[in-house]
Amino acid sequence: MRFSGTEGEDSFHKAIHLEPVKYVYAIIYRFFKSPLLLFLFIAIIYFSPLLYLARFHPMDTGLDRYFMVILSGLYVVFPSTVEVVAYDLRPYVLLAPLFLLSMLSVYLRRPLWEKLVFFNLMFIAREEGLVFGLIVILFAIAGCKDRQSRRSHATGLISSWFIWLVLSLMYFIWTGYSFNAVLNLRVTLFVLAVAAFSLLALLLLWRKAIEEKVSRGFLQLITYVLVFAPLGFQYFKPNLHRFTGNPLDGIKYATLSLVTYPKYNLYFICALLLTFLVWELMRKRRIKQIIIGCLVIATIMFVSVNAIFLRRDITIEKYTASEVIHDLRESTDKYSTFILTDYATHQAFYDYENVYVYNRLPWYLVAGQERYYPDPENISALKKLLKSDIEYIVVSRESTEEIERLLRSSSIEVPQADAGNGTYKIIRLR
């Protein structure tokens, strides 16, 4: 929505993303004092669509049963699944399963109240639910068999969508972040043009559907194709090839991200959902056998050495290297110890009261873009922290040179020895 910022301006409640589920996180952690319960909470929600399908999806033939087993297996072993349920507890990973539950409730023709529950649950994960909510609305209306059903679905879903739109706008205005007027104008115009064209196409299809000049099956097919709309838009993001300047490298990066990075697991869910919808459309046994064969091949591919096992090995390697950081946690108090980190080590101190990332200081210390390293305002604030408060510096080896430069410019002697290893560096100042 073109609001700029990253975390809360002056409190836990004011963040740049509308993620009400964070209050559920807070309650769970308040009572159990362990991140393990948070991981369990995410895992339960992430895999809940499989339980939902097992309860309500028809299993009339042997092919249906094979299809469900193989597709469920693919859902579990897809490489980014490991990252989704055990990476960094970000609420956005819940948007994928909640979107899938909402679409499945429509696909399985569940009662309207159930569809409304899942539809509204999408918005507790992230404000992007507004985008995926439009897909659910179109899918639900296209699947209605009569005018009365279309009217009730349109009223309930569209009303909910507009309520969340108003709440989102009010929330972002309340947070106090400035409206970003420097975003790429061409990208903005492109997005607006796509939105306008999509709205026009939707209105035309809707009018023809009312006039019964377009078959319901064709309208559903158009809806199925729209499931891939967010995936297609991902390739138009300019930041995908910003790091190389080569659009082809950006496309390769985006494709790799779809497989391994938790943020893009949502697009895997879209592809999986499309498989459900195609299965519903295809009546011929031969075509269904081909679909099952493709799923088997995909499952084998994603369990190969280059996918989930590779992620497992990387996770084990990172855990072994981080043992020195866990040892430091055991010997420090999370309420009184001041620690300076970088992006690579910040999450290890997720529950510490006084932890700072030198790359990006909190908004309350330095506001706006000046809080990013190496802005002079950022460096000035860092020097004050280093001289007065910071007790430990815990960073990756890649940040060592920058940290040592900061220490020298702050007239602080750089220790010759540290308690780190080949991956991380730990410096004790006090």
Please state, as a whole number, how many other Cβ atoms lie within 10 Å of the Cβ of residue 151: 12
- DSSP H helices, 125-264, are 129-142, 147-175, 185-210, 216-226, 229-234, 247-260
Using CA atoms in the order 250, 256, 257, 259, what is the torsion angle rounded to 10 degrees?
A: 160
Q: How far apart are CA 176 and CA 178, in angstroms?
A: 6
Residue matched to tokens 């390293």? 373
Which 8-state DSSP code applies to residue 372?
B
Give the bridge partners for 392, in sequence order.
Answer: 339, 428
Report residue 234: phi and psi, to 5°. Answer: -55, -35
State the distance between the two ends of the chain, measured CA to CA, in whole angstroms. Answer: 44
- At 360 the three-state DSSP class reads strand
Query: In this structure, what token pair is assigned to residue 13?
Result: 């409640």
Per-residue pLDDT tens listing for the chain (430 residues): 344 444 555 566 777 788 899 899 889 988 888 888 888 898 899 889 988 988 888 777 777 777 788 778 778 877 677 777 766 778 888 888 999 899 889 888 899 999 999 999 999 998 888 888 888 888 888 778 888 888 899 899 999 999 998 898 888 778 766 555 444 455 555 555 555 555 555 555 555 555 554 455 555 555 555 555 544 544 444 444 344 445 455 555 555 555 555 566 666 666 667 676 666 666 666 667 777 777 776 666 665 545 556 666 666 777 777 888 888 888 999 889 999 999 888 888 888 888 999 988 887 788 777 888 888 888 899 999 988 889 999 998 888 888 888 888 888 887 765 677 778 988 888 8
Ramachandran category for residue 69: left, alpha or beta (phi over 0 → left; psi -120 to 50 → alpha): alpha
Which distant-in-sequence residues (6+ apart) come within 8 Å of 379 by Cβ?
Answer: 373, 406, 409
Furthest-apart CA atoms within the chain: distance in Å: 80
- At 366 the three-state DSSP class reads coil
Inter-residue contact 96 to 266 (CB < 8 Å): yes
Residue matched to tokens 């750089």? 414
Query: In this structure, what token pair is assigned to residue 292?
Result: 């099952």
Which distant-in-sequence residues (6+ apart) come within 8 Å of 54 by Cβ?
Answer: 68, 72
CA distance to 399, 413, 427, per residue, from 409 (Å): 16, 10, 16
| 424-428 and 338-341 beta bridge pairing | unpaired
Identify the burial level of 132 via C-beta atoms within 10 angstroms of its C-beta, where 0-12 means exposed, 13-18 middle and 19 or more buried: buried
Pick from 379, 381, 407: nearest CA to 393: 407
- The pTM (predicted TM-score) of the whole model is 0.63
Q: Quote the radius of gyration of the chain (alpha carbons, Å).
A: 25
Ramachandran category for residue 109: left, alpha or beta (phi over 0 → left; psi -120 to 50 → alpha): left
Delimit the domains of the chain by residue range. 22-314, 325-428
- At 339 the three-state DSSP class reads strand
